[in-house]
Structure 1
Amino acid sequence: MAGGSSPIQPPPAKRQKETSSAAVNSLGEDHPPAAMTGGLKRRRQRRQSKARRAPPIHKLGEDLLLEIFLRLPSLATLVRAALTCRAWRRAVASSPSFRRRFRVVHPPPLLGLFFEAPGPVQTPNTPAFPTFVPARRRDRDLTAAVRGGDFFLTSLEDLPDEGPCWYIVDRCRGRVLLVNWDDASLVVFNPLTRRIEDVFDLGPEDMFDDSRGHCAQINPRLLSSDEDPTSFRVVLLVHDECRIRATVFSSDTWEWLVLAWVDVPASSGDDERWIQHEGGMQANGFLYWVYEDQRYLVSLDTATMEFCVTELPHCLRDSTFDIGKAKDGATCIVYSDQLNVGVLMHTRDDDGVEKWVLDRVVPLDRELERVLRVGLDDDTVLNHLVADHSDLSVLAVQDGYVYLSSIPSVHHDSQTSCWFLSLCLETMRLERLFRRSFDNAVHPYIMAWPPSLVGNYGGFALQDAQSLK
């Protein structure tokens, strides 16, 4: 077309701009300018240099790795992280010092509470299983641990020739000891790992031999160690009119050992059963039992199997209490007196005589009011709890924490709702757990150090041996 540009050709200025932005080779491929090529190369070199300077996470040394693990928020999180690979599991499992440090920083968490079936013992073999209520912690790893366990105790239904009637009588380091009174049998079960041991008899036949007068047996107690997760012991205390003896079951021999009778101070009561049947207590390698009149405390050193009897302070005569460990590991008694909580420490005088010395008594009425007001719009429950002079009942003491329940002092029955709480002995601050009827015995379940992170046992030993070849 004369006097104008062709409509199918771009204007010269625009064509000039496009051709200056890139070069075209004989195959029609675009190449960036030399300046751009140099910039890309420098950025690529910097990324490669950084990659060379930062070693992959699986190449971290054990010391640095354990320092990182020490800062994890909970034991459940540590388990998830350590089981990521064999090297990490081996680093944790082979370091007792790390386990001690981790326990100091992160006390074992409460996962929930087992409640015994309401009502009297049911016979013959009427189905009766404890119920479990989780603590509802805001920790996804703790929640996942509960979901992955068997806290409904369904594994017990797989036991051959056993009636479906089990009661929890003790718990220790993640294991629970259950008894079937109708079949006179015991079983040890770990709900978290789903590991169940074989059933064994409730005591030897000769445990009452050479007794004097009326005899009775007390609920058995479970002994276990974090550093030896493959074995356990069960101690059964029996008494006649004025003596006691221990019988010990060992998972190493799968047999009962009957020890000698020991004389102890006489009870002030007239009851034939003069030692409390319920309430197993243990701390720092000692088992404890209380006289029915609450005048004396019987202790058993589980290392030497020697008994000792001490007189209890008067402040414990009409109180609920438990024996456990403070955060620093010291043995203590924590008791409740209405809305007050007292702490006694275990000491020895210059002559080596054991004593329980009062450390402090703390009123918890205001602290209780504070923690119960959180999230409550209706003050009816709070006013009933505090104004009606309700009591606090001590359920358990472990690793610096006390587990409590509130019990209304008037018109209490099995349908009365109670608050379940935890108390930090170091700060004396309460934490509200949940509200539920208090119809029978309660057993707090504390997450223990898992067997998979202690030494090399079973399949872990084989895996580690193969990986080191």
Structure 2
Amino acid sequence: MSDEGGVTAAALDNDDLLGEILLRLSPLPTSLPRASVVSKRWELLATDPDFRRRFLAHHRKPPILGVFEQRGRTLVFTSVLDPPDRIPPARFDLPDPGGLAFDSWTLPGCRHGFVLILFQRLSLILMFDPISVDVRALAIPPGFGPRVEFPPDYTICACTISAAVLCDAGSGQGHVHGDCHMSPFKLAVVGTFSGGQHPAVARLYSSKTGIWRKAVWTPGPCAGTVSRLPSTLIGNALYWWLDESEDEILKFDMGKRRLTVVKRPNFTGIPSSCIRIIRAEGGGVGMAVLSYPSFQMWGRTVSNEGVATWMLQKTVNMHDIIGLPSGLETSNEVIVGYSEDADVVFISVSSNSEHYTFVVQLESMKSRKLNQNLLENSYHPFANFYTGGTDGV
């Protein structure tokens, strides 16, 4: 006899079949905990480490749990999930970092389960794992402000830096990003200099060796300064937006250890808050450009002769995608976040005193309205597998 879900009682008595059923539960925070309370047998299976590894491998991509932001001297987490999966902000509070003064710091971004906190004046980076509540400190090597080691032909000037972290476990043994807290990692730091007369610099750290590689420089001057917007990882390269530049972005190829300035389209009249570097259709570097209601996606291709070309790949009416009432007058439309792994952008739209935030999946162009309002362009999506407690409301 079958139950209402069409699953036979005999199937539920078979551990292998039950495991296959539980594997297909949603990867949201409450799925496995709720399954665990069905019976002791379900609990033993759902909490088994081997089953958890299979669960992660089955889903591959972790869900976006929320966003981190820098709010004054505080690192703030906001869950973007609906009840009962909504995670209280306090669950991901940063532990006491040992007396560090949070009066001069930046939040370069989140990736593969890590949150980066950069103290440029102290030449220090904190790597925070909100799931395990682990914090690692890493000193930034010489070559970055306030004292800069230029090649002999260059003078010293102020330095603006950013950083990016990524898991270095690889995928050859079935590793799933989102379970990286015990995995080796890479940390990249880039710096640009005021005046536009000097090259940009980058260095790469590997936890496998415990050393920083030698500094690499752009072949020529870098006119822009590296932005506080997070980097975008595409293949083995990291890309940063350059402020004060009309048509350039910064690329750090970690495999070739090459730092270059890459030409991009000049989106005249569109603020940087409405543009994000994304992974384009086909897997190359691209741009998402919001000039509401128009939303464009651009992609860069390189010919066999090495000639790079930017092409407009997609144009959609974002007003239709997010489903706001027709005739509604909007203002302050901003791209407030981007997740390369989930291939989504977060878009904030204001209308009179109302604010709306949407998550838009770039391949399908389907949207979901959030219950939370994200008003600025400095939010950092955080994706991971999490089975801890939630507020349930």
Which band: TM-score by shorter chain? 0.7 to 0.9
Residue 306 (1) aligns with residue 258 (2): yes
Q: The residue matched to 2:116 in structure 1 has which SS?
A: strand
Name the count of aligned residue pairs. 349
**Higher strand fraction: Structure 1 or Structure 2?**
2
1:392 is paired with a residue whose SS is strand
Are 1:150 and 2:80 matched, yes or no? no
Following superposition, the deviation at residue 450 of structure 1 comes to 6.8
| Map of 1:264 onto structure 2 | 220
TM-score of the superposed pair, with normalisation by structure 2: 0.74
Task: Render the CA deviation track for 1:302-349: whole Å, top value 9, x for unaligned.
Answer: 223223432112337734222334698665321211222111234322
- Counterpart in 2 of 1:205? 142
- Counterpart of 1:178 (choices 97, 117, 122) is 117
Q: 202, 213, 226: which is aligned to 1:276?
A: 226
Tell me the equivalent position of 1:16. Answer: none
- CA distance in 1: counterparts of 2:46 and 2:20, whole angstroms: 18
Q: Residue type matched to 2:98 in 1?
A: P
2:175 is equivalent to residue 235 of structure 1: no
1:355 aligns with 2:294: no
Counterpart of 1:12 in structure 2 is: none
Question: What's the % identity of the aligned pairs?
Answer: 18
Contact conserved, 1:421 with 1:430, CA < 8 A, in 2? yes
Highest RCO, 1 vs 2 (Cα 8 Å, sep ≥ 6): 2
SS in 2 for 1:233: strand
> Runs ≥4 in structure 1, deviation > 6 angstroms?
none
Measure the CA separation in 1 of the matches of 2:226 and 2:354: 26
Distance of 1:130 and 1:55 partners within structure 2 = 44
Counterpart CA distance in 2 for 1:87 and 1:344 is 44
**1:68 counterpart letter in structure 2:** I
- Cross-structure match for 1:404: 347
Structure 1 stretches lacking a partner, 5+ long? 1-49, 119-127, 268-273, 374-381, 411-415, 452-469
Query: What is the deviation of 1:92?
Result: 5.1
Could you say if the C-alpha distance between residues 102 and 204 of structure 1 is closer, same or farther in structure 2, counting changes exceeding 3 Å? Answer: same
Q: Distance in 1 between matches of 2:117 and 2:364?
A: 34
Q: How does 1:415-454 map to 2 (within 5 A)?
A: 418-436=355-373, 438=375, 442-449=378-385
Q: 1:434 is matched by which residue type in structure 2?
A: N
- Give yes or no for the alignment of 1:131 onto 2:82: no
CA distance in 1, matches of 2:304, 2:125: 43
The 1:232–1:79 alpha-carbon spacing in structure 2 relative to 1, beyond 3 Å, is: farther
User: How far apart are the structure 1 equivalents of 2:11 and 2:21?
Assistant: 16
1:232-381 to 2 correspondences below 5 Å: 232-240=185-193, 241-264=197-220, 267=223, 274-283=224-233, 284-291=235-242, 292-315=244-267, 318-319=270-271, 320-325=274-279, 331-368=285-322, 370=323, 372=324
Which of 117, 126, 129 is 1:190 aligned to? 129
**Secondary structure of the equivalent of 1:314?**
coil
Q: Structure 1 residues 282 and 336 mapped into 2: Cα distance closer, same or farther (>3 Å)?
A: same
Counterpart AA for 1:289: W
**Distance of aligned partners of 1:330 and 1:301 in 2 relative to their CA distance in 1, 3 Å threshold:** same
Q: Which residue of 2 aligns with 1:71?
A: 24
SS in 2 for 1:402: strand
Normalising by structure 1, what TM-score? 0.63
Indicate whether 1:395 and 2:331 are aligned. Answer: no
Provide the residue aligned with 1:457 in structure 2: none
- The answer to whether the 8 Å contact 2:230/2:380 transfers is no
- The CA distance in 1 between the partners of 2:298 and 2:262, in whole Å, is 14
Matched residues in 2 for 1:265 and 1:307: separation?
Answer: 12
Instruction: Identify if the C-alpha distance between structure 1 residues 304 and 437 changes in structure 2 by more than 3 Å, giving closer, same or farther.
Output: closer
Aligned-pair CA distance for 1:299: 1.2
Distance in 1 of aligned mates of 2:320 and 2:12: 53
Contact 1:400-1:426 within 8 A present in 2 as well: yes
CA RMSD of aligned residues (A): 3.7
Please give the per-residue CA displacement for 1:99-148, whole angstroms capped at 9, x wherever unaligned.
56523xxx532222223225xxxxxxxxx11222221424x3x33xx249
Q: Are positions 1:110 and 2:64 aligned together?
A: yes
Instruction: State the AA in 1 paired with 2:253.
Output: D
Return the letter of the residue paired with 1:204.
P
For structure 2, the residue ranges without an aligned partner over 5 or more in a row are: 1-7, 37-42, 169-176, 388-393
Q: Distance in 2 between matches of 1:394 and 1:167?
A: 17
